């Protein structure tokens, strides 16, 4: 006789600790599998980040071929972070000599030359290359801007905070937007720690500018800004630029992004900015759709000083992105294009051993491998040919394994904050006795 799943489920004991034990057992099983894979791996790389949760508790999260999240019992110094990480490595009998990379957010605690995390890791794993998360680097690169644009950004944040910072203003604003059939009914807070904050905040403020004008009183400090054509032109420009930077930021995220992908995206964006500057000189605003639409609707033009600030901003962005993302060494190009000619092999020979150069020549001459390379990703290709060309494949994989970002850590932190928020909404504890009494009463009444 076939047993119904519902009957099986009803037989499962639901004592106070049953679910907790089951969840813990499943978590331990997953961890055991990940650690086993790590022990069997030839190399591994890590990305680490430290964050403070809703309870002001410092948490260290490491993501790589394995994942763990721990509370930091002491100050969040580089040494404290390393000891927490090293305890986990030693406890699971892992080998630091097989660590080829460690990616951090670039904070002093992580990168300090003497006592930073990276320095501590290099003491036990000298082969580990340190990388600064590309998402954090991009955020640092876009901070610089002309003062007149910085003022518009700061004033925009003040306007948003004035409305969202008070419950009454928020309710009035929502009612006004609903009455006007607005597409949105809420403005967005700006926060420096949120990657996509600026573009979204400025775009939403521009879209709801008419509603904001109606809500602001004549006595408000920034009332005049909402009736200043040049101010709104700068707001529209900033909304466009930071929306474009948001797109770049999203392109740098993901689990399969490599350092080659990162530098290709940055290089393309810098080239675009040069083109945008040239078009501004010709009075063309096609690359700034919000600004272009604003000028067309208003039937006015921005003054020369405003256009000059736009050009200066694009020039600063181009320069800063170049500083934070220097060009990759061209001698690594063979990793993503191993099918060059003899001249290509000679150009990279000073970085490779003679045996590796010979392997590269063999690969470049193999038409079948060329087809395989097109069909597979870079990492899968080098893994496939590793048995035949172990030294060359090892050099390629070490570079491809480096994490260019702490994206995975940031994603997990977001989930962790959400989980802890749900668990700590109230300081009150459930009344277990009352709940059990209700359960018993319901059970007796059903009989």
Q: Which two tokens stand for residue 409?
A: 């850590």
- Say yes or no to pLDDT of 413 above 60: no
Give 167's pLDDT tier (boundaries 50, 70, 90).
Answer: confident
Residue 64, beta-bridge partner list: 46
Which of the two residues, 138 and 163, has the higher pLDDT score?
138
Q: Give the whole-angstrom CA distance, residue 94 versus residue 326.
A: 34
pLDDT > 90: percent of the chain? 22
Give 385's pLDDT tier (boundaries 50, 70, 90).
Answer: very high
Residues 392-409, mean pLDDT to the nearest whole number: 86
Give 69's pLDDT tier (boundaries 50, 70, 90).
Answer: low
What CA dihedral angle connects 335, 336, 340 and 344, to 10 degrees? -50
Least confident of 67-81, 141-155, 210-224, 422-436: 422-436
Beta strands, E only, 12-165 = 44-52, 58-64, 67-71, 99-104, 129-132
Span 93-122, pLDDT tens digits: 888 888 888 888 887 778 777 788 888 888
Residues 125-135, mean pLDDT to the nearest whole number: 87
Among 11-25, 201-215, 303-317, 428-442, name the most confident range.
303-317
pLDDT > 70: percent of the chain? 72
Q: What pLDDT was estimated at residue 131?
A: 87
The full set of domain ranges for the chain reads 29-133+406-438, 140-324, 330-390
Residues 392-413, mean pLDDT to the nearest whole number: 82
Q: What pLDDT was estimated at residue 447?
A: 55
Q: Which two tokens stand for residue 134?
A: 């590309």
Q: What pLDDT was estimated at residue 61?
A: 58
Span 348-372, pLDDT tens digits: 767 788 888 888 889 988 888 988 8
Mean predicted lDDT score pLDDT of the chain: 79
Which of the two residues, 12 and 379, has the higher pLDDT score?
379
Q: Give the whole-angstrom CA distance, residue 432 versus residue 268.
A: 60
User: Residue 213, Cβ neighbours under 10 Å: how many?
Assistant: 11
Least confident of 26-30, 150-154, 321-325, 330-334: 26-30
Superfamily of domain 29-133+406-438: Ribonuclease H-like superfamily/Ribonuclease H (3.30.420.10)
Q: Give the whole-angstrom CA distance, residue 228 versus residue 233.
A: 9
Which of the two residues, 58 and 184, has the higher pLDDT score?
184
Single pTM value for the model: 0.78
Residues 22-28, mean pLDDT to the nearest whole number: 70
Q: What pLDDT was estimated at residue 41?
A: 83
- Say yes or no to pLDDT of 286 above 90: yes
Which residue do the tokens 């504890």 mark? 429
Give 42's pLDDT tier (boundaries 50, 70, 90).
Answer: confident
């Amino acid at each position: 006789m076939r047993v119904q799943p519902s009957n099986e489920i009803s037989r499962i004991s639901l004592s106070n600790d049953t679910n907790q034990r089951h969840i813990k057992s499943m978590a331990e099983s997953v961890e055991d599998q990940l650690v086993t894979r790590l022990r069997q791996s030839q190399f591994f790389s890590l990305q680490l980040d430290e964050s403070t949760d809703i309870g002001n508790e410092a948490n260290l999260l490491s993501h790589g071929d394995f994942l763990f999240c721990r509370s930091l019992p002491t100050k969040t110094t580089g040494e404290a972070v390393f000891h927490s990480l090293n305890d986990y490595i030693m406890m699971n009998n892992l080998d630091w000599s097989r660590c080829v990379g460690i990616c951090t957010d670039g904070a002093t605690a992580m990168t300090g030359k003497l006592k930073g995390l990276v320095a501590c890791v290099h003491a036990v794993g000298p082969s580990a290359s340190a990388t600064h998360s590309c998402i954090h680097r991009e955020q640092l690169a876009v901070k610089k801007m002309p003062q007149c644009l910085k003022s518009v950004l700061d004033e925009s944040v003040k306007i948003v905070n004035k409305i969202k910072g008070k419950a009454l203003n928020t309710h009035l604003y929502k009612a006004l937007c609903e009455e006007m059939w607005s597409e949105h009914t809420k403005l967005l807070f700006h926060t420096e720690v949120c990657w996509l904050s600026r573009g979204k905040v400025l775009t939403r403020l521009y879209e709801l500018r008419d509603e904001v004008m109606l809500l602001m009183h004549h006595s408000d400090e920034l009332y005049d800004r909402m009736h200043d054509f040049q101010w709104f032109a700068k707001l529209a420009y900033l909304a466009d630029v930071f929306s474009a930077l948001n797109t770049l930021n999203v392109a740098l995220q993901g689990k399969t992004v490599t350092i080659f992908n990162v530098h290709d995206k940055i290089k393309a964006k810098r080239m675009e900015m040069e083109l945008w500057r040239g078009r501004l000189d010709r009075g063309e605003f096609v690359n700034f759709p919000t600004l272009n639409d604003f000028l067309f609707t208003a039937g006015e033009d921005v003054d020369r000083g405003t256009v000059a600030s736009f050009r200066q901003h694009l020039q600063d962005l181009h320069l800063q992105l170049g500083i934070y993302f220097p060009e990759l060494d061209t001698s690594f190009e063979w990793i993503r294009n191993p099918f060059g000619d003899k001249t290509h092999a000679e150009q990279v020979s000073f970085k490779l051993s003679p045996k590796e150069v010979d392997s590269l020549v063999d690969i470049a001459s193999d038409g079948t491998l060329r087809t395989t390379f097109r069909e597979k990703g870079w990492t899968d290709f080098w893994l496939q040919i590793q048995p035949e060309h172990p030294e060359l494949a090892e050099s390629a994989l070490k570079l491809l394994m480096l994490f260019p970002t702490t994206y995975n850590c940031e994603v997990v932190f977001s989930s962790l904050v959400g989980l802890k928020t749900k668990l700590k909404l109230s300081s009150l504890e459930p009344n277990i006795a009352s709940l059990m009494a209700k359960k018993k009463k319901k059970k007796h009444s059903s009989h």
